[in-house]
Amino acid sequence: MGRHRGKYAEEPSGGRQRRRGRGGAVAALAGALAIVLALVVAGVYILVNRSDGCGSQLNLDVAVAPEMAPPVQAVADEFNAEEHTVDGDCVRVDVRQADSADVAYSITGSGATMGDTESDVWIPDSSVWPRQVQSEAGDAIITETGTSLARTPLVLAELEEFADDSQESTWKDVVPSGAPGEGQDRTVRVVDPVRSATGLGSLYLLHGALQESSSDTDTFNAQMTAALQSLHQGASANEEAAFLAFSGGGEESPPLMVMSEQAVWRYNTMHSEAPARAGYMDNTYYLDYPYVVRSEESAITRAAEEFRNTVRAEENRGHFLEEGFRDTDDGMDTGVLTADAGFQEEVPEELPVPSEGSIEELTRSWTQLKMDSRVLTIVDVSGSMMAEVPGTGMTRMQVTGAAADDGLDMFTPTSELGLWEFSTDINDGLHHQELAPVRELQAAGDDGNDHRDAVAREFDSLQPRPEGDTAMYETYLAAYEEMSRTYRPDRTNVILMLTDGDNDHPGGMELEELLEGIDELSSPSRPIPIITIAFGPDVQHLEPLQEIAAATGGAAYMTEDPRNIGEIFVQAFSLRIEDEGDGDDDS
């Protein structure tokens, strides 16, 4: 303060100068007050405006089939910018991708699911999913609004270089009659019907075609069984794996893939070097993307209705057409679905959505045949498997063994199973060790017990190796070599890996080396999918496991809790059969 006074004291003492200084200070003060007042007024104006428009924010969580996410997100962005309100609260729509089967199985509790499946609004790819939910979980909060966001028919796709428009005109022409490559010019591929509405629709179409053309029940059953066995050999776990198999389709047996019209367009945007061509049958099944509300809370349901009206508005139609969908009147954008890729404006006759009874019958037929698998199970016995699973009093190894042991009951006696353990340097320099060879579960052992008992005993006796690391990639390749060498074309040959960590082997095999090794051994006519179930907090990277799954037509699952292995095991093998099937002894 003294320095301030001293500084002022040095100013000239003339009265005129002093008056000028006082006037300048007053003017400056007045200017500052004016600015402050302006800011206050502006702030009050903003607050009043916000109070009138948005008291607070109401979030509307929308789970949507992955391929439908781009157009729905585009509409949501515009919707959020317009500040729609419910009871004075601004509605904000949050869109996220969710696999339709994941959501359905989460609601019904009939299978393991991955990721967050809760939402206020659900937009699956097909009405078949909410129908299944209502059939299996009648108390679930599911309100079908009668609104379809877009449509896309199932078509028969083939690579442009092999396309021949004159070869198929009905679904009967597509029904496979034997194993891939046996007496057939081309391999028919579908996505797993248990996980895909497209795959289920494919079965529905082929089932109907055979019913119409078969002269009697015995003929139909024989033909349908042969078709299912063939389709099993070429089935993909998901669309990503299907796209990979399709793009790398065999030179010896050009692939045919049943997929939606929009999926063909999407495939071509990602594979311009090997594009596909869409082929249309005389009738087909359509994906219809229903708008389903999953809440009974008043504010949420009104917000859902507000967004439904917006997403179906005529001005938003273009968002869906530019992503390869048709509108609800089957109109399309010919600049997107172009004639040179085989797309046509005239649509096939629409078949009704499969009934709940048809879905159950087709799914059971598919999964019962899939039971006769040939599976090499590989279990991680590295040191981290000694960690205790919270709340169980058991180690990860014990929980894994118990879950896998329970999984044995899901296989028929004629299924073949084998068991390996793996870590690092556990078998004369090898990183894996065979505990039980791949044999039929009903096969008798030297001790008089069957192979199922032998595998169960080995599961029970698994022990982690305290100093062991996780040589995952070397083990994958060794298993792929073994299953390739002993391949059985009359069975589904599968490698199942159970692990609680990432690949951890300093100086060992890299992912690229593994993928190259698999590529050298693999053949489209001899698929060996690798299914990995990774569990526990030590799993940091799912992406490498997904790459391995995509390269083999398999799948990768991850869960924090190893107690979920049993449920995921069921999902991975689609082993959902009725109890009465266990009593059949026809063979």
Q: How far apart are CA 391 and CA 25, in angstroms?
A: 73
Q: Is residue 43 part of a domain?
A: no
| Residue 559: pLDDT over 60 | yes
Same domain, 254 and 316: no
What residues contact residue 299 under an 8 Å CB cut-off, 6+ apart?
58, 86, 87, 89
CA 289 to chain centre: 16
Same domain, 396 and 542: yes
- Give the total residue count for the chain: 587
Token pair listed for 30: 């007045």
The reply to whether 139 and 249 lie within a common domain is no
Give the per-residue pLDDT at 6. Answer: 34
Are the C-beta atoms of residues 106 and 117 closer than 8 Å to each other?
A: yes
pTM of the model: 0.61
Return the top range by mean pLDDT from 47-51, 324-328, 405-409. Answer: 324-328
Within this chain, do residues 109 and 258 fall inside the same structural domain, yes or no? no
Contact, 531 vs 493, CB < 8 A?
no
pLDDT exceeds cutoff 60 at 581:
no
**Residue 326 counted as domain residue:** no
Domain that holds residue 386: 371-579
> What 8-state DSSP symbol labels residue 444?
B
Q: Are 476 and 417 in contact (CB under 8 A)?
A: no
**pLDDT at residue 583, as a whole number:** 33
Of the segments 132-136, 141-145, 296-300, which one has the largest average pLDDT value? 296-300
Q: Are 191 and 574 in contact (CB under 8 A)?
A: no
Residue with the larger pLDDT of the pair 484 and 46: 484
Percent with pLDDT over 90 in the chain: 38
How does the average pLDDT of the chain come out, rounded?
80
Model confidence band, residue 575 (pLDDT cutoffs 50, 70, 90): very low
The answer on 443 and 346 residing in a single domain is no
Question: Does residue 391 fall inside a structural domain?
Answer: yes
Give the pLDDT mean for 350-360.
82
Does the residue 35 lie in any domain? no
Flag whether 107 is in a domain: yes
Q: For residue 552, give both structure tokens.
A: 């083999």
Domains contained in the chain, number: 3
Mean pLDDT, range 248-270, rounded to an integer: 81
Backbone angles phi, psi at 430, to 5 degrees: -85, 160
**Residue 384 pLDDT > 60:** yes
The residue out of 330, 362, 394 marking a domain boundary is 362
Are residue 205 and residue 243 in the same domain, yes or no? yes
* Residue of 324, 337, 279 lying closest to 163 (CA atoms): 279
The amino acid sitting at 276 is A
Task: Examine the domain organization and report whether 444 and 470 are in the same domain.
Answer: yes
